[in-house]
């Protein structure tokens, strides 16, 4: 067994016991990145600086033994998404328009990772401004799943998932405004958790007035995801809103029995009229059988959000894109991908009153869904409509509107929980007969990540996946 075969928590325990140092562990991952196919590594990472990672590992090692309140992931390598500000480290937001940009400040995610004593190996790849659900940034290799390197890793946290799934880092951070953690988790056979709205600070940019996006963990196990959520979670003084504090650590929730739960389920697509892949249908039915065998009550329900919510969501999504594109000068706008320009132009055409009305309507749709689902502890759906698609299957530079519609057909469930603000997790419960991963999604009431993690850990114990590795492993 090699070091990367261990979970992030197991690696952290070795560091605390003195059996290995953060320097040794960092070197292991740097050497592994040098051995794996470079096109794969370059698709996972937008930027790597091995010397900076070594320096950081030496700094962490110099601190020595840490107290009881320290993160169990102290000294463990990770990586930060290219959408997040990292002081002194190139951050391009997945766009040639920001090539060479080096932030002068770090955001809350970066600061939390540093405060926990983790070692960042670089910036993980993302599509332009994190908008598409595939990670094929201009001028760089695509992020692909290690289960079949001709297929996409998903997006927008595709680089993070690609890195974790191939053992380039044991755990990573992603962000999710419409599924961007859970989509790549499903494509790459991982655990991907979108926390509840307000769980993780948006300091200092607070760039999402709609409240769709939040950062969260991508990991191989539920325990690792919970430990990473403990690292990331917490409010800062300037936050406009925040989630209630948990009863303890999120990691402690993994060791609790969830009790007998009432679980709602549906597999009818929320945002598109599409035929769900047969393997996804089978995975969904299998998940119902598993949850029932664990003693839970699983009940079919109607889709809790009307199809009329879709254009309202799209208006808000387009405005969020416009917030990134409008400030750019003509030269930089000319560097943008057709999809980004199309969405940005669409958002820029929305008047302030129209945006306000859309935002209010979206919140009313969210409230109606939350009320409809309030009697249930958990909601079960598939994560994606199909197994991971071939690279380029969704991207359509000649017709951005068709590109956007194809993305909706691929991801017809994930964005619903961004609208409601509910925490949601994709679990790698299933594979197709030819080995492609299929995720199953569980969502909980707002601020109930502890219950969600407790159930996810119970599911993982009943159908473990930790030692199931892709061919690239």
Token pair listed for 176: 């999710």
State the Rg of the chain over Cα.
Answer: 20
81 included as an active-site residue: yes
Catalytic site residue from 106, 125, 131, 180: 180
Distance, CA of 467 to CA of 469 (rounded, Å): 6
Angle subtended at Cα 443 by Cα 149 and Cα 183, rounded to the nearest 5 degrees: 15
Residue closest to 384 by CA, chosen among 160, 159, 155: 155
Query: What does the buried/exposed string (b/e) look like for 294-321 if buried means 16 or more CB atoms within 10 Å of the residue's CB?
Result: bebebeebebbbeeebbebbbbbbbbbb
Q: In 3D, which of 129, 139, 96, 92 has the Cα closest to residue 331?
A: 96
* Other CB atoms within 10 A of residue 54 CB: 17
The active-site residue out of 71, 81, 175, 454 is 81
Task: Specify the DSSP element, H or E, that contains 81.
Answer: strand 77-81
- The SS3 assignment for 366 reads helix
Q: Choose among 42, 54, 48: nearest CA to 79.
A: 48
Q: Is 156 a catalytic residue?
A: yes
Please give the Cα distance from 21 to 60 (Å, whole number): 9
Tokens 């993982």 correspond to 460
The Cα 246–Cα 250 span in angstroms is 7
Compute the distance between CA of residue 211 and CA of residue 284 in angstroms, rounded to an integer. 29
Tell me the DSSP string of 155-204. SSSHHHHHHHHTTSSSEEEEEESSSTTHHHHHHHT-EEEE--TTSB--TT
Of the candidates 156, 162, 186, 426, the residue annotated as catalytic is: 156
* Active site (annotated) includes residue 408: no
DSSP letter for 424, please: E
Close Cβ partners of 347 (under 8 Å, ≥ 6 residues apart): 315, 317, 318, 319, 320, 321, 322, 323, 325
Q: Output the six-digit token pair for 438.
A: 């299929």
Known catalytic residues? 81, 156, 180
């Amino acid at each position: 067994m090699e070091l990367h075969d261990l979970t992030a928590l197991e690696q952290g325990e070795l560091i605390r016991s003195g059996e290995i140092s953060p320097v040794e562990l960092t070197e292991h991952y740097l050497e592994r990145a040098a051995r794996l196919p470079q096109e794969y590594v370059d698709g996972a990472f937008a930027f790597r600086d091995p010397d900076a990672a070594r320096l950081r590992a030496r700094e962490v090692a110099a601190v020595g033994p840490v107290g009881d309140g320290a993160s169990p992931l102290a000294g463990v390598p990770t990586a930060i998404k290219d959408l997040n500000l990292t002081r002194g480290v190139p951050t391009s937001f997945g766009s040639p328009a920001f090539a060479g940009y080096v932030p002068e400040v770090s955001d809350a995610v970066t600061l939390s990772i540093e405060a926990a004593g983790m070692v960042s190996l670089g910036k993980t790849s993302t599509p332009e401004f994190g908008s598409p659900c595939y990670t094929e940034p201009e001028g760089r290799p695509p992020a692909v799943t290690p289960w079949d390197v001709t297929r996409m890793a998903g997006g927008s946290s595709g680089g993070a998932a690609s890195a974790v799934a191939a053992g380039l880092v044991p755990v990573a951070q992603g962000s999710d405004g419409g599924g961007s953690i859970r989509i790549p988790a499903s494509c790459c056979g991982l655990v991907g958790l979108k926390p509840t709205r307000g769980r993780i600070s948006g300091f200092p940019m607070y760039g999402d007035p709609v409240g769709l996006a939040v950062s969260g963990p991508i990991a191989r196990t539920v325990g690792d995801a919970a430990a990473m959520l403990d690292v990331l979670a917490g409010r800062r003084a300037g936050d406009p809103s925040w989630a209630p504090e948990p009863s303890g650590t999120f990691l402690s929730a993994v060791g609790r029995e969830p009790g007998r739960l009432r679980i709602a389920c549906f597999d009818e697509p929320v945002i598109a009229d599409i035929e769900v892949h047969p393997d996804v249908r089978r995975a969904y039915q299998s998940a119902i059988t598993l949850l029932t065998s664990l003693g839970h009550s699983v009940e079919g329900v109607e889709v809790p959000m009307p199809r009329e919510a879709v254009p309202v969501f799209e208006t808000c999504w387009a405005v969020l894109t416009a917030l990134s594109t409008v400030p750019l000068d003509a030269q930089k706008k000319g560097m943008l991908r057709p999809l980004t320009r199309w969405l940005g132009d669409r958002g820029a055409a929305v008047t302030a009153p129209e945006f306000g009305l859309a935002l209010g309507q979206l919140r009313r749709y969210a409230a109606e869904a939350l009320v409809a689902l309030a009697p249930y502890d958990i909601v079960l759906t598939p994560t994606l409509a199909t197994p991971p698609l071939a690279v380029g299957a969704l991207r359509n530079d000649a017709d951005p509107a068709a590109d956007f519609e194809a993305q909706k057909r691929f991801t017809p469930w994930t964005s619903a929980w961004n609208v409601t603000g509910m925490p949601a997790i994709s679990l790698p419960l299933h594979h197709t007969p030819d080995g492609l991963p299929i995720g199953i999604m569980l969502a909980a009431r707002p601020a109930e990540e502890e219950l969600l993690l407790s159930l996810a850990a119970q599911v993982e114990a009943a159908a473990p996946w930790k030692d199931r590795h892709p061919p690239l492993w």
